[in-house]
């Protein structure tokens, strides 16, 4: 049996691993590359295998860097079966449609710029023209028919003679999984564990990660392989203080948020804050993101994924997201109308790093007002508008205008959907003593630091398209 890595190396991440065993080809994840290099080009390149030859795609979770190239896979000939949990299936559909929509928009923008507007639609080419999208909405819709069996946590699925898979709750986002493959080929047996992304323990909405024991080979993520998180309780307290302080100034409060997971977590904390009287009872919250609203609705369909206490409350009739003063803003016209509100509104909108989306309009309307607040609740990479504001810029360029930064800026660092170094080590220890551990999905620095702290295993850091015999 042979394992090859087509999604991650030391510079870029985008999960995509291929296992060749007992005459079957099984792909684990098919993510879009994110980070480092010229990514558009990287994403359009050949996969490193023939999509038509893949029998089964096992999907760990619905983040773009794990499912974002599925429409491209189907477009290029994949006709196999996609298997994931019920929640992942719904979320992945949403994430792929959103990605396709963004790519269509970007392609339109690029073709307008290059003066070829209107031509690219009829331009047939074997090559990926820079002004055509990687895939379109129709391609994303087409993926639906390849989603087959639903995986349930802890239930073994026989995929083919000599190939079985079991999904375990990874505690990372709704429906996320680590996947154990039990393989047998000519009397040679192997247990191979793919971590997916590993969540951090002790979060209120999701369960702690479940780790199967006795893997021979482990493929694991190392996003925070060199860092420790602060406890989430301290961050929640800090978040409530920021919300109260910002509202007391008399203006509005903007919270740039990622649509999937972070938005739901923040809604949950706001709801709890009001319920426990740690936040004002009359809080008016506007969730201004069609994507986040849909993701929240999907959360409400899947209480089977919740942490036990939250699940029990939900069954007892308490919806974790049903904050009394919550307004869903789907329509663009309603989003624009929010600019009429000068005071007391808490507006959650994307994107989380302020690189696009509706949040930019709200920042434009509120950033220069000294009685307003902006609360950052997630990671912001170098060069993004969020990072520029966090780093203390006096003025920023926004939608073609120079906007002064006079609003109060708060940064809450402790919210994370990833395990930190200590938790990653504990996770690895629980897998047993695997002969070999492949590190993926982390920056080089984090990966190397993590590799040094691992014991009782051979460590590999595969390059893109590298293969190993197992
Ligand atoms: Zn993830």
Domain locations in the chain?
Answer: 2-227+417-469, 232-415
Alpha carbon dihedral 82, 86, 90, 92, in 10-degree steps, equals -40
Q: What are phi and psi of 402, to 5 degrees?
A: -90, 125
Distance (angstroms) between ligand 1 centre and the Cα of 251 equals 35
> In whole angstroms, what is the distance from residue 9 CA to residue 27 CA?
17
Distance (angstroms) between ligand 1 centre and the Cα of 400 equals 33
User: Which of 132, 127, 126 is CA-nearest to residue 109?
Assistant: 132
- pLDDT of 109 reads 81
Distance (angstroms) between ligand 1 centre and the Cα of 328 equals 25
Question: What percentage of the chain carries pLDDT values higher than 70?
Answer: 94
- pLDDT of 117 reads 43
Distance (angstroms) between ligand 1 centre and the Cα of 389 equals 25
> In whole angstroms, what is the distance from residue 288 CA to residue 190 CA?
48
Longest dimension (CA), the chain: 72
Band the pLDDT of 105: cuts 50, 70, 90: confident
Range with the lowest mean pLDDT among 99-108, 110-119, 125-134, 144-153? Answer: 110-119
- The alpha carbon of residue 188 and the mean position of all alpha carbons in its chain are separated, in whole angstroms, by 36
Distance (angstroms) between ligand 1 centre and the Cα of 458 equals 25
> In whole angstroms, what is the distance from residue 312 CA to residue 302 CA?
13
Tens digits of per-residue pLDDT, 20-64?
A: 999 999 999 999 987 554 677 788 889 999 999 999 999 999 999
User: Which of 98, 83, 100 is CA-nearest to residue 24?
Assistant: 83
**Angle 171-174-175 from CA coordinates, rounded to 5°:** 85
**Beta strands at 467-469 and 2-5: parallel, antiparallel or unpaired:** antiparallel
Distance (angstroms) between ligand 1 centre and the Cα of 8 equals 14
Tens digits of per-residue pLDDT, 384-426?
A: 899 999 999 999 999 999 999 999 999 998 898 899 999 999 9
> In whole angstroms, what is the distance from residue 470 CA to residue 457 CA?
14
Residues 97 and 141: beta-carbon distance below 8 Å = yes
- pLDDT of 126 reads 43
User: Which of 16, 24, 15, 21 is CA-nearest to residue 2?
Assistant: 21
- pLDDT of 35 reads 59
Query: Would you say domain 232-415 falls under CATH 3.10.310.10?
Result: no
As beta bridge partners, residue 403 has 396
Residues 34 and 8: beta-carbon distance below 8 Å = no
- pLDDT of 125 reads 43
pLDDT at 10 over 90: no
Distance (angstroms) between ligand 1 centre and the Cα of 97 equals 17
DSSP 210-279: ---S--SEEEEE-TTTT--PPPHHHHHHHHHHHHHHHHHTTS-EEEE--TTTHHHHHHHHHHHHHHTTSS
User: Which of 174, 216, 222, 164 is CA-nearest to residue 195?
Assistant: 222
Distance (angstroms) between ligand 1 centre and the Cα of 13 equals 11
3-class DSSP assignment, residue 190? strand
pLDDT at 12 over 70: no
For residues 144-156, average pLDDT:
97
pLDDT at 253 over 90: yes
**Per-residue CA distances from 351 to 64, 263, 354, 379 (Å):** 14, 11, 5, 12
CATH architecture, domain 2-227+417-469:
4-Layer Sandwich (3.60)
Distance (angstroms) between ligand 1 centre and the Cα of 221 equals 10
3-class DSSP assignment, residue 305? helix
- pLDDT of 380 reads 85
pLDDT at 93 over 70: yes
Distance (angstroms) between ligand 1 centre and the Cα of 199 equals 9
Instruction: Name 281's Cβ contacts closer than 8 Å, sequence gap at least 6.
Output: 274, 324
For residues 157-182, average pLDDT:
97
User: Which of 315, 311, 341 is CA-nearest to residue 327?
Assistant: 341
Crossing angle of helices 262-275 and 232-248, in 10° steps, is 70
Distance (angstroms) between ligand 1 centre and the Cα of 337 equals 34
């Amino acid at each position: 049996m042979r394992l090859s890595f087509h999604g991650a190396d030391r510079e870029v991440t985008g999960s995509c691993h291929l296992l060749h065993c007992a005459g079957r080809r099984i792909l684990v994840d098919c993510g879009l590359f994110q980070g480092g290099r010229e990514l558009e080009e990287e994403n359009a390149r050949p996969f490193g295998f023939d999509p038509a030859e893949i029998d089964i795609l096992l999907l760990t979770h619905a983040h773009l860097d794990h499912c974002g190239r599925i429409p491209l896979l189907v477009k290029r000939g994949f006709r196999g079966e996609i298997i994931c949990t019920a929640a992942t299936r719904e979320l992945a559909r949403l994430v792929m449609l959103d990605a396709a929509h963004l790519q269509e928009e970007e392609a339109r923008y690029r073709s307008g710029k290059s003066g070829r507007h209107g031509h690219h639609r009829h331009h047939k080419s074997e090559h990926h023209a820079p002004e055509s999208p990687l895939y379109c909405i129709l391609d994303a819709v087409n993926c639906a028919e390849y989603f087959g069996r639903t995986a349930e946590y802890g239930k073994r699925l026989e995929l083919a003679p000599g190939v079985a898979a079991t999904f375990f709750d990874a505690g990372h986002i709704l429906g996320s999984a680590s996947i154990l493959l039990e393989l047998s080929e000519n009397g040679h047996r192997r247990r191979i564990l793919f971590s997916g992304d590993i969540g951090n323990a002790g979060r209120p909405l999701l369960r702690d990660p479940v780790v199967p024991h006795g893997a021979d080979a482990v493929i694991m993520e190392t996003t925070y392989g060199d860092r420790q998180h602060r406890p989430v309780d301290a961050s929640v307290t800090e978040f409530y203080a920021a919300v109260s302080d910002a509202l007391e100034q008399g203006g509005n409060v903007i919270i740039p948020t990622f649509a999937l997971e972070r938005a739901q977590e923040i809604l949950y904390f706001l709801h709890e804050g009001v319920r426990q009287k740690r936040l004002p009872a009359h809080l008016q919250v506007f969730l201004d993101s069609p994507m986040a609203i849909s993701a929240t609705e999907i959360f409400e369909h899947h209480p089977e994924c919740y942490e036990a206490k939250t699940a029990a409350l939900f069954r007892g009739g308490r919806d974790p997201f049903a904050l009394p003063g919550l307004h869903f803003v789907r329509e663009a016209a309603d989003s624009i109308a929010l600019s009429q509100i000068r005071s007391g509104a808490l507006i959650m909108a994307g994107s989380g790093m302020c690189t696009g989306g509706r949040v930019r309009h709200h920042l434009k309307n509120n950033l220069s007002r000294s009685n307003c607040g902006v609360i950052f609740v997630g990671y912001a990479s170098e060069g993004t508008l969020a990072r520029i504001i966090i780093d203390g810029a006096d003025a920023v360029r926004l939608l073609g205008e120079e906007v002064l930064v006079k609003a109060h800026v708060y940064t809450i660092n402790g919210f994370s959907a990833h395990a930190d170094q200590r938790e990653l080590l504990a996770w690895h220890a629980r897998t047993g003593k695997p002969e070999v551990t492949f590190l993926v999905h982390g920056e080089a620095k984090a990966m190397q630091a993590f590799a040094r702290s691992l014991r009782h295993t051979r460590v590999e850091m595969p390059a893109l398209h590298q293969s190993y015999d197992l």
